[in-house]
Chain A
Amino acid sequence: MTTTLVDLDLFTDLRRFGAADVSACFTCGTCTATCPLSDDAAAFPRQLIRYAEVGLKDDLLGSKELWVCYHCGLCSETCPTQADPAEFMATARRYAVASYDPSGLARILFTRPVLASVIATVVAAFLAAFMYSAHGPQESSSLDLFRFIPDQLIHWIGIAVMVVMALAGLVGLVRMTGQVARREQVGLRDVFGSRPALRRTLSAAWSAIAVESLGQRRYRADCGADDPPEPLYRRRWLVHALTIWGFLGLLVATVLDWGLALLRIKETGTPIPVWYPSRLIGTIAGISLMYGVTMFMVARVRRTGTSYQVSTAADWLLLVLLWLTGATGFLIEAALYLPAAPGWGYWMFLFHVAVAMELMLLLPFTKFAHAIYRPLGLFFYARAKAHVHTA
């Protein structure tokens, strides 16, 4: 048996990230009992609230359970003391993202809304200014975007942004892996050490990435216990899935377009018809993303359902960046179809590229970080689940 010295300040620190009501908790466990996702392999939210209250920081940050929760809000509806466990889970995820990031940027973006807005604006402005510094003429007969901002410049800045994002994300992932593996008592040997271990790892990775993250299986099947059920077009899992698929679709279209240019099949910026693969994917994905993000924003404004009762600046930052990226993209499309090239089309383009780059650059530091941490959490969950089943 090990003895853990508790961190007296953990709870105070957590409160900076939200969850004002959770101290009303008296550990009855109703939340865990009613949660459709909580099971033997991952029991929450009660135990995580306990970690926070008592001051078990390492246990909290090592909880894969944080990422099994999709914030349906059922626990908050059934909580006898209105401690709002669902909001606590969201808070703990914010805290975890901030803790996995050693730079301190994520902490600022989550806990200081005004400063976060300033940073977001400055970063976008800086990226735009940097690209504008190398700008060419604005052709007025037809919209020639890549004469205005050279495509090579965009490519290289884009690559730089992706590298920074990947490095920061990797650091966070490694830190999270260390914490979770310690709590789960999973060593390197358990993951890669033998053929059965490797098989189990691959199966868990498939479940975490393909089935759950891309397929949204449990979000769709187990988390949809709304009573009365929302109409399909408003159901959270679908709105969320359309957002993911839309974002990934746009990423694929972008990479595809770049790939075509690298293969010298098609120069970046050459006019192409709507049915052209990269453009078709981009258009459909864009519509999907815009639908999802807009539905989320509407739900947050109207506070429809328990999940949307509390909206933090961090929630809005991600939605706004996604929405601006999508909306400006479609405005560029519109500008392309206008007979004379409008001047605002060029500015829209500059804005679009800057916001999209910022979105990727800040990914590990914003709510967007759940896109990398959740699959890792779900990986550990799938491993544990397989263990529970075989035990």
Chain B
Amino acid sequence: MSEPRRIGVYICHCGGNISDHVDVQRVREAVAGHADVVVAETKLFACADGTQHEMVTAIQEQNLDGLVVASCSPKLHQITFRGVAKRAELNPYTYTQVNIREQCSWAHTDDPEGATQKAIGLVRAGIAQSRLSTPLNPLVVETLPRTMVIGGGVAGLRAAIGLADIGLQVIVVERGSRVGGWLAQLGPMFPNDRSGREQIDALLAEVAKRPMITVITNAELVGKSGSFGNYTALVRVNGEPDNVLEVEVGTFVVATGTDVYQPELGEYGYGIDGVLTLAEYSALVDSASGRLTYRDRPVRSVAYIYCVGNRQPGGNEYCSKFCCAATAHASIKVSKLDPKVKQYHLHRGIRTYGTYELMYSESRERGSVYLRFPDDTPPEVAKLPSGQLAVTVLDPSTSDAELTIPADLVVLVTGMVPRQNDELTNLLKLPVGSDGYYNEIHPKLRPVETVVDGVLIAGTCQGPKTAGESVSAGLAAVTQSGGILKKGFAELDPLVATVRPAACTGCAECVSSCPYEAISMTPADGREVAVVSAATCKGCGGCVPVCPEDALDLLGHTDAQTLASIDSLLEEAVR
């Protein structure tokens, strides 16, 4: 048996969320007399400030060396109670969180007795876990003050400037032959009618002023090794196999942007002369001098069809959110060129949120007509015998009759689609969401971090964004990079895999099981043994059961802890 321990156990009512279905008093009684349990109490709200303070006092006065709180999911309050342990000068990794809310009271509202029995078992398992815990300390890794920005669009360029301004070196890697991304191709933009090109030029002027920034075009990231804060990146230039730069960086900011939807031939008449995508039409409008013309013929009427390639059940279900505003803006430009042009907007609900609403109003005031068609009855585009285009649409707010709108141009308002970038995605292990865009950890609270430490995402590679939103994300990535790199070191969770070299036979099964490439074979005492890079290991535990010799163990969740937890959980049944 192990050394005697002094463990404090707190069982939370969660103000009734738990105690309405779990008899917390019985849970307390079931563990109160347990070996090594010195304190066993119930609390109305364990997370309340006052209760936390009582716990700190108890840990210090009772000289506790382990802490168990049975309350909610560790996702919610593990960090809270680790903090309690820390304040009481107790090692935070001796703390175990037991979830008796989501897993007991909420899951078994129909069976209070069963829920109570399950809670008793889980708390006993938690005590067993804490009993075998050892003090652990965070890993400290030194970090390099250098960031690689992948993608030279507006988000990447603005991030590069921000990074340089906080004193970090920046390498911008752009796959294309010139930087600027989509924005560089756009004409005058809302609200002050500065063209996209002008805005990119302004950013490039700023980039040029900063020697901390290096921009490499025609370049691709082809390799990444090392660990958080100390990555080695391989950049291939001009697609030449032997022209590969090796760059050491602390973090990556991925700002690879997006593609726009390309309609299929025949989709809303695409392919017929005069049916254009929004991008093609915008270019036409921005290049017009005087009146709007198409193939040297004046354009007198335009029909816009919204949500092409977006908001499609079974397809791209999301909204690209820039397109309504961009189309309203284009219609204003056209009416300024020639107020007599008739403009019909066939939409599925206009989403000109925020100040874009002003454009929607102005567009209507300038005579644009907006018709909302039913989701299940899309408009149809055809060429009339006269050669003119015609869009037939059902407008329920007018009548049940179909309307046929003659148009010189039909504009398919196309949204964004994720850019196919499998090589980079695999290389950086970027998480991809069901929409095909890169996923952040939390859309509100951690909007640019990914589950891969030190790899940040920004801009339209995360999903459709306006230029302003892309820049905001780029600057958020600056802050996150700064937070990691400016201290010069980073603290990592010590809950990682370890190898007992004596037991390792060097079979390398674990190496291939690791999704993070954290395990490598290293010569030691004349043979190959597995070594885990603690900075790279994410503590997933995937390697542990793979090892035929049980040479691997996961700190904080050792085999011994897990077995003891299982035994405790089954105590009642075994007896």
A residues adjacent to B (C-beta < 8 A): 1-6, 8, 11-12, 23-27, 46-47, 50-51, 53-56, 59, 81
Contacts and interface: CB of A to CB of B under 8 A. Distances in A.
B403 A56 contact: yes
A13 to B, nearest CB: 12
B397 A27 contact: yes
B406 interface: yes
A4 B404 contact: yes
B296 interface: no
A4 B400 CA distance: 11
A53 B365 contact: no
Main secondary structure of the interface of A (DSSP, over half): mixed
Contacts of A50: 395, 397-398
B337 to A, nearest CB: 17
Interface string B338-379: 001010000000000000000001001111011110000000
A55 B366 CA distance: 16
A4 B394 CA distance: 10
19 contacts: A1-B400, A2-B402, A3-B402, A4-B401, A4-B404, A6-B403, A6-B405, A23-B364, A24-B365, A26-B364, A26-B370, A47-B398, A50-B397, A51-B398, A53-B369, A54-B371, A54-B395, A54-B403, A56-B398
A51 B395 CA distance: 11
A286 to B, nearest CB: 47
B401 A1 contact: yes
Contacts of B80: none
Contacts of B398: 47, 50-51, 54, 56, 59
Contact of B361 (A11, A24, A47): A24
Given A11-B367, A53-B369, A3 B397 contact: no
B392 A3 contact: yes
A1 B393 CA distance: 12
Interface in B83-127: none
A53 B404 CA distance: 14
Contacts of A27: 370, 372, 397
Given A5-B403, A50-B398, A81-B361, 17 more contacts: A1-B402, A3-B403, A4-B403, A5-B406, A6-B406, A8-B405, A11-B367, A11-B369, A12-B340, A24-B364, A27-B372, A54-B369, A54-B371, A54-B395, A54-B398, A55-B369, A55-B403
A56 B340 CA distance: 18
A343 B401 CA distance: 66
Nearest to B360: A26
Interface string B386-399: 00001010010111
B402 A4 contact: yes
A51 B371 CA distance: 11
Contacts of B364: 23-26
Nearest to B367: A23
B533 interface: no
Contacts of B406: 5-6, 8
Contacts of A46: 397
A113 B369 CA distance: 29
Nearest to B361: A24
Interface string B314-341: 0000000000000000000000000010
Nearest to B392: A3
A8 B301 contact: yes
A122 B519 CA distance: 104
Given A8-B301, A23-B367, A2 B361 contact: no
B63 to A, nearest CB: 69
Contacts of A3: 392, 401-404
Q: Which 5 pairs between the two chains have the least Cβ-Cβ distance?
A: A3-B402, A8-B342, A50-B398, A5-B404, A53-B369
A11 B370 CA distance: 13
A171 to B, nearest CB: 28
Contacts of A2: 401-402
B26 to A, nearest CB: 59
A132 B520 CA distance: 120
A267 to B, nearest CB: 60
B399 to A, nearest CB: 7
Contacts of A25: 364
B305 to A, nearest CB: 16
B373 to A, nearest CB: 12
A96 B342 CA distance: 23
Interface string B531-570: 0000000000000000000000000000000000000000
A46 B405 CA distance: 20
Contacts of B390: 5
A51 to B, nearest CB: 7
A50 B361 CA distance: 16
A3 B366 CA distance: 27
A158 B36 CA distance: 119
Nearest to B405: A6
Contacts of B301: 8
A179 to B, nearest CB: 15
A47 B397 CA distance: 7
A110 B398 CA distance: 27
A54 B340 CA distance: 15
A4 B369 CA distance: 16
Nearest to A47: B398
B338 to A, nearest CB: 13
B299 to A, nearest CB: 13
Contacts of B402: 1-4
Interface in B509-525: none
B197 to A, nearest CB: 33
Contacts of A26: 364, 370
Nearest to B341: A8
B376 to A, nearest CB: 15
Nearest to B301: A8
A8 B406 CA distance: 8
A59 B399 contact: yes
Interface string B412-437: 00000000000000000000000000
Contacts of B401: 1-4
Nearest to A21: B365
A10 to B, nearest CB: 10
Contacts of B369: 11, 53-55
A46 B370 CA distance: 14
Nearest to B384: A5
A242 B545 CA distance: 99
A50 B402 CA distance: 14
Nearest to A54: B398
Interface string B290-307: 000000000011000000
Nearest to A5: B404
A50 B301 CA distance: 18
A53 B368 CA distance: 9
Q: Which of B369, B371, B398, B399: most chain A Cβ within 10 A? A: B398
B464 to A, nearest CB: 24
